[in-house]
């Protein structure tokens, strides 16, 4: 069996962390099994769907590296839905209903008042048509057929169809609700695994009967725990965190994807440089049922760790022309965002303008300049310099390292000094130490 998964966003806005996570897990599962990852644009809501949002979804997926193997949009598939709807209607599995929303709401309140579950009370036979009122349509659940499946995350799931309302599948204006078109698409596209949030569990229960009514096998189902904000509560802020925010923050796609691949699992969250590496270790058996806590600060931390380990080959297309491989390897550990590298140009070129050192450090830096002229620059010059100065001055820790960093970079913090000193070279290091000493 070829594994086929799908990501089915509505084109009403940019991708956010919730649906990026869904797309990623579908992508990784398909990639792991050598299968196909499809994009289905759910644009049946004509009022809210826009071509601009659809184009942005494609662009966002491309930026994330989650490009689909094929894409379809539901608005191109209405003839297919109509055909399958008529087949179900002829089989008695869909029926017309003429109640207004107000009438349905009243019936729900009456049932609740009686202490009964607010389940739609199926009329005897077909609803009598109401003059001047178009019907909406419901799918008739089979009350004699128990609903059960083994979820890849949640384990054994069971629903009593007698405790579920026959779902509305089509509105009075002829437009489609989500449930039936999604099943028709999954059958037609050969979807083998449906991976989505746990808020769809009850939808899956009724959709399993739709698969059966259409004579199709059932895809495997995996329902993930939902994301919550770092403070532990569901938050509208999560809807604002996505590709747009990532790009504005100057963060790398793999920082977000590294977090979302492991969030809510028993696996450690760590920076991973490629989707293939994430796919190789992806396993629904690691997923828990507790809410997954998302914190943008974790993305920023992973971003810095990714940059610190990133090779020049991986980084070069994002770097300005002045950054060659030695400069990248020397500066990368100073970065939390790729764009920050521009601020380090003067450090590796002339014109740094380092300040004169504090009085108590000038003699030490003069001695450092002299030591730099004596050490072997063919080995590990930073280690040789600091070892020599520690022996001669008795300084250690911050008192030893901070004046040297400040003299050589004009900054209190920055990249690892060993590769930076090797990059700067003997003459530049001596000149900067001497200038800071006031020589």
Domain holding 390: CATH number?
1.10.10
For residues 403 and 244, give the distance between their C-alpha atoms in angstroms, rounded to a whole number: 41
Residue whose tokens read 């930076």: 420
- pTM of the entire structure? 0.90
Contact by Cβ (8 Å): 256, 272: no
User: Does position 126 have pLDDT exceeding 60, yes or no?
Assistant: no
Which among 227, 244, 279 is the end of a domain? 227
Same domain (yes/no): 140, 268: no
pLDDT in tens, 242-265: 888 889 999 999 999 999 999 999
Same domain (yes/no): 302, 319: no
Question: Going edge to edge, which strands form the sheet with 70-73?
Answer: 4-7, 36-41, 70-73
Which among 227, 246, 276 is the end of a domain? 227
Contact by Cβ (8 Å): 206, 139: yes
Could you tell me which residues come within 8 angstroms of residue 337 by beta carbon, excluding any fewer than 6 positions away? 249, 250, 251, 303, 307
Same domain (yes/no): 221, 351: no
Same domain (yes/no): 292, 318: no
For residues 404 and 371, give the distance between their C-alpha atoms in angstroms, rounded to a whole number: 12
User: Does position 233 have pLDDT exceeding 60, yes or no?
Assistant: no
Measure Cα distances from 394 to 135, 360, 389, 401 in Å: 90, 14, 8, 12
Same domain (yes/no): 130, 40: yes
For residues 304 and 151, give the distance between their C-alpha atoms in angstroms, rounded to a whole number: 36
pLDDT in tens, 311-344: 999 999 999 999 999 999 999 999 999 999 999 9
- Strand, helix or coil at 434? helix
Going by the DSSP 8-state scheme, the letter that residue 178 receives in this structure is: S
Same domain (yes/no): 353, 373: yes
Same domain (yes/no): 373, 418: yes
Largest CA distance in the chain: 102
Q: Which two tokens stand for residue 245?
A: 């925010």
Which among 193, 227, 261 is the end of a domain? 227
Could you tell me which residues come within 8 angstroms of residue 269 by beta carbon, excluding any fewer than 6 positions away? 258, 259, 262, 263, 298, 302
The domain spanning residue 280 has which CATH number? Answer: 1.10.1160.10
Q: What is the DSSP track for 255-279?
A: HHHHHHHHTTBSSPP---S-HHHHH
Same domain (yes/no): 325, 432: yes
The domain spanning residue 146 has which CATH number? Answer: 3.40.50.620
Range of the domain at 263: 229-309
Residue whose tokens read 């919730």: 18
Of the candidates 213, 168, 212, 220, the one whose C-alpha atom is nearest the C-alpha of residue 195 is 220
User: Does position 128 have pLDDT exceeding 90, yes or no?
Assistant: no
pLDDT in tens, 98-110: 988 888 889 889 9
Same domain (yes/no): 338, 295: no
Same domain (yes/no): 94, 151: yes
Average pLDDT on 212-216 reads 97
Contact by Cβ (8 Å): 255, 302: yes
Same domain (yes/no): 169, 290: no
For residues 53 and 49, give the distance between their C-alpha atoms in angstroms, rounded to a whole number: 7
**Residue 383 assigned ligand-binding role:** no
Residues above pLDDT 70, as percent of the chain: 97
| Gap between the terminal Cα atoms of the chain | 76
- Strand, helix or coil at 2? coil
**How many distinct structural domains can be found in the chain?**
3
Same domain (yes/no): 341, 260: no
User: Does position 232 have pLDDT exceeding 60, yes or no?
Assistant: no
């Amino acid at each position: 069996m070829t594994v086929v998964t799908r990501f089915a966003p509505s084109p009403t806005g940019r991708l956010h962390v919730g649906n990026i996570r869904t797309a990623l897990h579908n992508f990784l599962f398909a990639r792991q099994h050598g299968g196909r990852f499809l994009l289905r644009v759910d644009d049946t809501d004509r009022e809210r769907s826009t071509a601009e949002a659809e184009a942005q979804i494609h662009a966002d997926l491309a930026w994330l590296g989650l490009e689909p193997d094929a894409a379809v949009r539901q608005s191109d598939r209405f003839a297919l839905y109509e055909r399958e709807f008529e087949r179900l209607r002829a089989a008695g599995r869909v029926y017309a209903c003429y109640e207004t929303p107000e009438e349905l709401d009243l019936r729900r309140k009456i049932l609740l008042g009686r202490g009964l579950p607010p389940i739609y009370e199926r009329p005897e036979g077909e609803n009598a048509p109401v003059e001047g009122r178009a019907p909406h349509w419901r799918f008739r659940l089979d009350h004699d057929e128990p609903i059960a499946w083994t979820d890849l995350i949640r384990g054994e799931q069971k629903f009593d169809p007698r405790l579920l309302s026959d779902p509305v599948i089509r509105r009075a204006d002829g437009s489609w609700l989500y449930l039936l078109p999604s099943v028709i698409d999954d059958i037609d596209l050969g979807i083998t695994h449906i991976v989505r949030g746990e808020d769809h569990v009850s939808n899956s229960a009724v959709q399993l009967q739709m698969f059966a009514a259409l004579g199709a096998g059932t895809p495997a189902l995996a329902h993930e725990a939902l994301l919550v904000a770092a403070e532990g509560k569901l938050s509208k802020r999560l809807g604002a965190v996505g590709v747009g925010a990532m790009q504005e923050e100057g963060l790398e796609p793999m920082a977000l994807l590294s977090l979302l691949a492991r969030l809510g699992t028993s696996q450690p969250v760590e920076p991973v440089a490629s989707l293939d590496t994430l796919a190789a270790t992806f396993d629904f058996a690691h997923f828990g049922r507790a809410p997954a806590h998302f914190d943008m600060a974790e993305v920023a931390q992973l971003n810095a760790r990714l940059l610190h380990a990133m090779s020049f080959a991986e980084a070069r297309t994002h770097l300005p022309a002045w950054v060659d491989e030695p400069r990248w390897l020397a500066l990368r550990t100073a970065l939390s965002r790729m764009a920050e590298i521009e601020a380090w140009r003067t450090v590796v070129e002339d014109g740094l303008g380092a300040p004169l050192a504090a009085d108590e450090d000038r003699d030490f830096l003069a001695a450092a300049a002299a030591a730099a002229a004596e050490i072997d620059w063919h080995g590990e010059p930073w280690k040789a310099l600091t070892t020599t100065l520690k022996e001669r001055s008795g300084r250690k820790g911050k008192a030893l390292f901070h004046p040297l960093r400040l003299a050589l970079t004009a900054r209190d913090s920055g990249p690892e000094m060993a590769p930076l000193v090797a990059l700067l070279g003997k003459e530049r290091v001596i000149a900067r130490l001497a200038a800071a000493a006031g020589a």
